[in-house]
Amino acid sequence: MPSTNWKEVVAPDEAARHAAAAQGVAEMQRRKNARFGSGRALHRKGLLVTTGELEIVPDLPPHARQGLFALTGRYPLWLRLSNGSVDVQSDRVPDIRGFAFRVLGLPEQPAALGGRTTHQDFSLINQLAFAFPTSEHFFGLVLAAGQGPLALLKWLFATFGLTGGLRRIKDMKSSFGRPFRGFAAESFTSVLPLAFGTHAVRWRVRPVNGQAMAVSAGQAVDWAADFTRQLQHQALRYELQAQFFEDEARTPIEKADQEWLERDAPWMTLAQLTLNPPPADARALKQAEAGVYDPWQGLAAHRPLGEVMRARKVVYFASQQGRGAA
């Protein structure tokens, strides 16, 4: 049985730091809006939106039947695929890739932000850990990158010194430069923890083995076209999995840069996602692309945990306001 002895550690200056980060991101978003048009502060380039269905695995063990997964049956969802950059750029540019979806039509339950809700959002990327343990460095990186490569280098060396800056550059090249095989072939994780009733977890979606068609040699890199091609060939399926908190040493709540290793916290399959080709309804597609996919938009049973998640609550809301989505 996984441990329930997890805890959050809230620093006394968090609220001020998070407010400052939100202000900086909002200012960057206004600059990018002037250049690219109204859009998100992060994951600005939406590649594709489509529909699908989430089917919860029956007969889960008792500790896994909490929140969304205390339910049974199938629920509709909207999916948005994206590039992680603050800019709109070619798919050839190495980048973080986003896999975000909203599960709809749930029985009304207490919401993470208060009140009641009938949906649960999942915000996932093709990484296993962040480059930095706290939001101060994470959003510092985002704001510096938003000003261009030279500003980013200057920030890295000013923040971490020569040796530390070079090490961070090496780590970032490793993360961003890893070959991406397409959304039908890659796994995506929450990176950060969330509550799971009395437990804490990280999420992962993993494609069903053997479903992805290879990207042809010399083919132009267009991840939306590739994913659409895959969907036209067959319905794409993924396993939605959870990795449960065990202890602070191996599965920390507050260290965003530490991977939870599978040998310490095995993945458990909770549900299956089945994705459909994009619908023909242009209005619905536009609404889904403009919509919100935010880990704080969901059930109280799956409340985001840790300092970086608490910062995201403030920063993401500011970004949503900056594009008229809140």
The CATH number of whichever domain residue 192 belongs to comes to 2.40.180.10
Which helix H or strand E contains 12, and what residues bound it?
Answer: none
pLDDT in tens, 3-48: 999 999 999 999 999 999 999 999 999 999 999 999 999 999 999 9
Q: Which pTM does this prediction carry?
A: 0.94
Tokens 């039947």 sit on residue:
65
142 domain-assigned: no
305 domain-assigned: yes
275 domain-assigned: yes
Token code pair at residue 99: 């896999």
**How many helices, marked H, and strands, marked E, lie in the chain?**
6, 11
Nearest to 56 by CA among 42, 46, 71: 71
150 domain-assigned: no
163 domain-assigned: no
Flag whether pLDDT at 114 surpasses 50.
yes
pLDDT for position 49: 94
Q: What is the Cα–Cα distance from 275 to 236, expressed in whole angstroms?
A: 5
Contact between 141 and 132 under an 8 Å Cβ cutoff? The reply is yes
DSSP tag of 302: G
CA within 13 Å, CB half, 204? 22
In the chain, how many domains are there? 1
DSSP tag of 70: G
Range of the structural domain that residue 22 is part of: 14-135+183-322
Neighbours of 229 (CB within 10 A): 16
CA 61 centroid distance within chain: 26
CA within 13 Å, CB half, 46? 20
pLDDT for position 37: 92
pLDDT in tens, 78-97: 999 999 999 999 998 889 99
Helices (H), the chain: 14-36, 135-145, 149-177, 223-233, 282-290, 307-322
How large a percentage of the chain has pLDDT more than 70?
97
pLDDT for position 218: 45
Flag whether pLDDT at 284 surpasses 90.
no
Q: Is the dihedral of CA 124, 129, 131, 134 positive or negative?
A: positive
pLDDT for position 217: 44
151 domain-assigned: no
Flag whether pLDDT at 135 surpasses 80.
yes
3 domain-assigned: no
25 domain-assigned: yes
